[in-house]
Amino acid sequence: MEYINDADFETRRWREARLIYNSALKEIGTKLEILNDEFQHVHKYNPIEHIKSRIKTSESIAKKMKKYGCEPTIENVVKYVNDIAGVRIICSFTTDIYRLAEMLERQSDICVLSVKDYIKSPKPSGYKSYHMLVSIPIFLSERRVDTKVEIQIRTVAMDFWASLEHKINYKFETKVPRHIKDELYACARMVSELDAKMLSLNEEVHSLLP
Which residues are known catalytic residues?
Answer: 150
Closest CA to 78 of 61, 53, 54, 60: 61
Query: What's the distance, CA 198 to chain centroid?
Result: 23
Closest CA to 159 of 71, 14, 49, 66: 49
Cα–Cα distance for residue pair 160/82, rounded to 1 Å? 24
Core vs surface per residue 81-95: b (16+ CB within 10 A) or e: bbbbbbbbbbbbbbe
Output the CA torsion 210→40→102→145 (10° steps).
180
